[in-house]
């Protein structure tokens, strides 16, 4: 014998409340949705029928219940038996079981959500001239269907749903809560909803054409809407429209920086009923700087109606919305570059973070983000146009060391020391093969320094060996070259490998034995290049120093030049350097101040 499943309603309600719905508050949404669908169904054959829902919270009914009256199509007695007594049965599907397009509901479980907050649900409904039918359901799964008694018959077509609150759920029935929830979920519904005497529907969405007379008025309205509903004054508003998803709406560009990795939540309405205030996946990741409010008639909800269902339509919608935001950026670049600059000022960190993965963002940064260079601020695109390649210093310190000298040699350098900049520059050739990039190494500059002519070279040899002796213990090599600018007496240049070895050395001094061994092994992997103190023979002071006869004074002068070059290049000052600076300063002072004790 075939048997039929028995459904334990308590178990189902438990499942809904703990696993499907995020909060019991959805009961208001489900009631509104059923009322709106019933009105839609009635108006299909009776276009002039009223479209009104009235909610009476317990403060008004006076008997502790909440009532929802609608002017919808109502149900006949057989329909009540079929639809209200069977979980998963809906009138909103076609013969093949597909969700019918004009309705909000489709699953046939919405009414059950009332049991999240109510012990008892009563439905009194009238369809056309049929008698009024009364259905009463209980949370334990019992239900009763009867024809309404004579005095209880409805005068009008429509349905009244009455909820008898569960003891511990009374807070969900407060007039203020119900008003807030009806406004939250249903403010855009194309019907009129009242809670007590307060209308909670606001008419057409704020972005619809009829809502504002001129584009400027509509924009003002949207800015006001963002302030009230989203809590910020947008940097800009961007109209959105994706016909294939029946989608219209607005993207609000955020006025303050956000973390692009944080999931953005968008406010999504489906057929003008709020689905969620935190929809993910509506925009591509790179569009982290916008929050959307949209209404769609075609996108699908998950069964909980709290998120968008990820399908092909959502994917193509995401792409289309991405295109529209990209278009906004491009238009901004063309029509109002200053505003684009303002936008980047706010969102540059996020834009740059994405530029490491997203080609569009990379191009945006290349074309529009002004970078610091030793010839002033300029975009990478301009820099490349002017200099044929992008030459950059990879850290701020390197840039500081090199900027002035490189500029004097007509060598333009970008400061790529700020967050993401060096990686962005290095990624450029992967999207455009014609882009040449070159990392400027401090020691690259030495190739641009002129060597001295042999006569001078010979004459300064004694000076150089005295100078070298003074700096030997600091591991620094002294070199004499001729370079611009003449005002610069000396440069301290550390190659990358020398910098690495220096760091290794200072770590080794602090490490315990085991680690010292490891570090030694590392250090042995490459010959340490020594840092160089490059004295500038074009500098008058340096020339005078090279001509000094007193070796002690030469030592003091070279030490002082060494210290000054360290400071000028923002190099770290080790204890030995500090001691040397100190002694050379005092030594020179001693020489400068005449007289004896
Ligand atoms: N206010 C109402 N007026 C007329 N019919 C109603 C009303 N409320 C519910 N019904 C009928 O009861 C059926 C079941 O309602 P229920 O809310 O459980 O599911 P649904 O709205 O079809 O789908 P969903 O689970 O997606 O909300 C509906 O399909 C509808 O036919």
Q: Which atom of ligand 1 is nearest to the CA of 105?
A: 26
Calculate how far, in angstroms, residue 106's C-alpha sits from the geometric centre of ligand 1: 8
**571 vs 195, residue with greater confidence:** 195
**486 vs 105, residue with greater confidence:** 486
How high is the pLDDT of residue 526?
Answer: 54
What pLDDT digit, counting tens, does each position of 489-507 carry? 999 988 766 666 666 666 6
Query: pTM here?
Result: 0.76
What token pair was written down for 440? 């400027």
Calculate how far, in angstroms, residue 526's C-alpha sits from the geometric centre of ligand 1: 77
Range name among 79-83, 230-234, 404-408, 443-447 with the lowest pLDDT average: 443-447
**305 vs 39, residue with greater confidence:** 39
Query: Which of 108, 154, 303, 306 is the pocket-test mutation for ligand 1 (most atoms within 8 Å of CB)?
Result: 108
If you average pLDDT over every residue of the chain, what do you get? Answer: 89
Cα 355 from Cα 421, distance rounded (Å)? 10
How high is the pLDDT of residue 182?
Answer: 97
Answer whether residue 403 shows pLDDT above 70. yes
Q: Which atom of ligand 1 is nearest to the CA of 73?
A: 4
Q: Does domain 209-334 have CATH number 3.40.630.30?
A: no
**26 vs 260, residue with greater confidence:** 26
Instruction: State whether the beta carbon of 35 lies less than 6 angstroms from ligand 1.
Output: yes
Interface confidence, given as ipTM, is: 0.97
Calculate how far, in angstroms, residue 27's C-alpha sits from the geometric centre of ligand 1: 12
Calculate how far, in angstroms, residue 100's C-alpha sits from the geometric centre of ligand 1: 13
Cα 270 from Cα 266, distance rounded (Å)? 13
Answer whether residue 422 shows pLDDT above 90. yes
Nearest CA to ligand 1 atom 15: 108
Q: Determine the average pLDDT of the residues in 329-341.
A: 88
Instruction: State whether the beta carbon of 104 lies less than 6 angstroms from ligand 1.
Output: no
What pLDDT digit, counting tens, does each position of 270-279 carry? 999 999 999 9
Instruction: State whether the beta carbon of 90 lies less than 6 angstroms from ligand 1.
Output: yes
Query: Which of 12, 90, 100 is the pocket-test mutation for ligand 1 (most atoms within 8 Å of CB)?
Result: 90
How high is the pLDDT of residue 496?
Answer: 65
How high is the pLDDT of residue 240?
Answer: 97
Q: Which atom of ligand 1 is nearest to the CA of 87?
A: 18
**468 vs 407, residue with greater confidence:** 468
Yes or no: say if 566 and 535 are a contact pair by the CB < 8 Å rule.
Answer: no
487 CA to centre of own chain: 48
Yes or no: say if 277 and 307 are a contact pair by the CB < 8 Å rule.
Answer: no
Instruction: State whether the beta carbon of 111 lies less than 6 angstroms from ligand 1.
Output: yes
How high is the pLDDT of residue 521?
Answer: 61
Calculate how far, in angstroms, residue 73's C-alpha sits from the geometric centre of ligand 1: 11
Instruction: State whether the beta carbon of 92 lies less than 6 angstroms from ligand 1.
Output: yes
What token pair was written down for 576? 């030995």
Instruction: State whether the beta carbon of 232 lies less than 6 angstroms from ligand 1.
Output: no
Cα 518 from Cα 510, distance rounded (Å)? 13
Cβ within 8 Å of residue 584, ≥6 positions away: 556, 557, 559, 560, 563
Nearest CA to ligand 1 atom 9: 34
How high is the pLDDT of residue 502?
Answer: 64
Calculate how far, in angstroms, residue 103's C-alpha sits from the geometric centre of ligand 1: 10
What pLDDT digit, counting tens, does each position of 197-253 carry? 999 999 889 998 765 578 888 899 999 999 998 999 999 999 999 999 999 999 999
What pLDDT digit, counting tens, does each position of 55-111 carry? 999 999 999 999 999 999 999 999 999 888 777 778 777 776 677 778 877 777 788
Return the CATH class of domain 448-495+531-592.
mainly alpha
Answer whether residue 11 shows pLDDT above 90. no
Calculate how far, in angstroms, residue 93's C-alpha sits from the geometric centre of ligand 1: 11
What pLDDT digit, counting tens, does each position of 108-142 carry? 778 888 999 999 999 999 999 999 999 999 988 88
Answer whether residue 524 shows pLDDT above 90. no
Three-state secondary-structure class, residue 513? helix
User: What share of the chain in percent tops pLDDT 70?
Assistant: 93
Query: Which of 36, 67, 71, 110 is the pocket-test mutation for ligand 1 (most atoms within 8 Å of CB)?
Result: 110
Task: Determine whether the annotation assigns residue 397 to a binding site.
Answer: no
Instruction: State whether the beta carbon of 247 lies less than 6 angstroms from ligand 1.
Output: no
**Among 334, 360, 365, CA closest to 349:** 365
Instruction: State whether the beta carbon of 84 lies less than 6 angstroms from ligand 1.
Output: yes
Answer whether residue 512 shows pLDDT above 90. no
Q: Which atom of ligand 1 is nearest to the CA of 35?
A: 1
How high is the pLDDT of residue 15?
Answer: 79
Which strands form 532-536's sheet, in the order they lie side by side?
477-481, 532-536, 490-493
Instruction: State whether the beta carbon of 587 lies less than 6 angstroms from ligand 1.
Output: no
SS (H, E, C) 288-320: CCEEEEEEECCCCECCCCCCECCCHHHHHHHHH
How high is the pLDDT of residue 194?
Answer: 98
**CATH architecture observed for domain 338-446:** 3-Layer(aba) Sandwich (3.40)
Three-state secondary-structure class, residue 374? strand
Answer whether residue 397 shows pLDDT above 80. yes
Q: Determine the average pLDDT of the residues in 37-56.
A: 96
What pLDDT digit, counting tens, does each position of 532-559 carry? 999 999 999 999 999 999 999 999 999 9
Instruction: State whether the beta carbon of 72 lies less than 6 angstroms from ligand 1.
Output: yes
The hierarchical CATH code for the domain 9-199 is 3.30.565.10
Nearest CA to ligand 1 atom 8: 34
Task: Determine whether the annotation assigns residue 536 to a binding site.
Answer: no
Spans of all domains in the chain: 9-199, 209-334, 338-446, 448-495+531-592
How high is the pLDDT of residue 510?
Answer: 67
What pLDDT digit, counting tens, does each position of 296-330 carry? 999 999 877 888 999 999 999 999 999 999 889 88
Identify the H or E element spanning 118.
strand 118-126
Instruction: State whether the beta carbon of 245 lies less than 6 angstroms from ligand 1.
Output: no
514 — pLDDT class (breaks 50, 70, 90):
low
Cβ within 8 Å of residue 44, ≥6 positions away: 102
Q: Determine the average pLDDT of the residues in 518-543.
A: 78
Yes or no: say if 463 and 417 are a contact pair by the CB < 8 Å rule.
Answer: no
How high is the pLDDT of residue 211?
Answer: 54
Q: Which residues pair with 53 in a beta bridge?
A: 70, 193
Calculate how far, in angstroms, residue 47's C-alpha sits from the geometric centre of ligand 1: 21
């Amino acid at each position: 014998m075939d048997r039929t499943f028995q459904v334990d309603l308590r178990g189902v309600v438990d499942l809904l409340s703990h696993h499907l719905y995020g909060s019991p508050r959805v009961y208001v949404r489900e009631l509104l949705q059923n009322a709106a669908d019933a009105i839609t169904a009635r108006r299909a054959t009776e276009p002039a029928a009223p479209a009104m829902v009235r909610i009476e919270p317990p403060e008004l009914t006076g008997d502790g219940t909440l009532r929802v009256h609608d002017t919808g199509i109502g149900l006949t007695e057989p329909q009540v038996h079929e639809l209200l007594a069977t979980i998963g049965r809906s009138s909103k599907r076609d013969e093949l079981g597909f969700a019918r397009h004009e309705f909000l509901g489709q699953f046939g479980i919405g009414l059950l959500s009332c049991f999240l907050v109510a012990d008892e649900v009563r439905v009194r409904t009238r369809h056309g001239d049929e008698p009024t039918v009364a259905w009463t359901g209980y949370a334990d799964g019992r239900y009763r269907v009867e024809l309404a008694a004579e005095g209880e018959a409805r005068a009008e077509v429509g349905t009244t749903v009455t909820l008898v609150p569960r003891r511990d759920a009374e807070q969900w029935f407060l007039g203020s809560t119900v008003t807030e929830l009806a406004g939250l979920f249903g403010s855009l519904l194309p019907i009129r909803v009242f809670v007590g005497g307060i209308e909670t529907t606001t008419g057409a969405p704020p972005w619809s054409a009829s809502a504002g007379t001129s584009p400027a008025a509509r924009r003002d309205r949207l800015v006001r809407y963002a302030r009230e509903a989203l809590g910020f004054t947008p940097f800009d508003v961007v109209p959105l429209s994706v016909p294939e998803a029946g989608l219209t709406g607005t993207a609000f560009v955020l006025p303050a920086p956000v973390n692009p990795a944080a999931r953005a939540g968008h406010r999504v309405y489906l057929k003008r009923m709020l689905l969620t205030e935190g929809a993910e996946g509506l925009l591509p990741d790179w569009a982290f700087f916008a929050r959307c409010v949209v209404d769609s008639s075609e996108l699908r909800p998950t069964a909980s109606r709290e998120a968008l269902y990820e399908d092909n339509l959502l994917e193509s919608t995401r792409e289309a919305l991405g295109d529209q935001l990209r278009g906004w950026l491009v238009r901004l670049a063309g029509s109002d570059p200053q505003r684009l600059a303002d936008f980047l000022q706010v969102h540059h960190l996020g834009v740059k973070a994405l530029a490491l993965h997203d080609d569009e963002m990379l191009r945006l940064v290349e074309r529009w983000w002004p970078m610091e260079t030793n010839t002033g601020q300029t975009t990478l695109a301009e820099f490349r146009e002017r200099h044929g390649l992008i030459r950059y210093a990879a850290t701020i310190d390197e840039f500081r060391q090199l900027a002035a000298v490189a500029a004097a040699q007509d060598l333009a350098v970008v400061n790529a020391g700020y967050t993401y900049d060096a990686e962005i520059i290095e990624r450029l050739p992967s999207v455009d093969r014609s882009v040449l990039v070159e990392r400027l190494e401090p020691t690259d500059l030495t190739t641009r320094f002129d060597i001295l002519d042999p006569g001078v070279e010979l004459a300064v040899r004694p000076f150089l060996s005295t100078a070298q002796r003074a700096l030997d213990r600091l591991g620094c090599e002294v070199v004499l070259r001729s370079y611009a600018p003449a005002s610069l007496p000396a440069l301290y240049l550390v190659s990358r490998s020398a910098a690495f070895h220096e760091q290794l050395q200072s770590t080794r001094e602090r490490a315990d034995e085991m680690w010292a061994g490891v570090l030694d092994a590392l250090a042995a992997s490459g010959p340490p290049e020594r840092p160089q103190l490059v004295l500038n023979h074009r500098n008058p002071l340096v020339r005078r120093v090279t001509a000094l006869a007193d070796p002690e004074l030469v030592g003091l002068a070279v030490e002082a030049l060494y210290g000054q070059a360290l400071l000028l290049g923002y190099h770290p000052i080790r204890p030995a350097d500090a001691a040397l600076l100190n002694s050379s300063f005092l030594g020179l002072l001693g020489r400068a101040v005449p007289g004896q004790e």
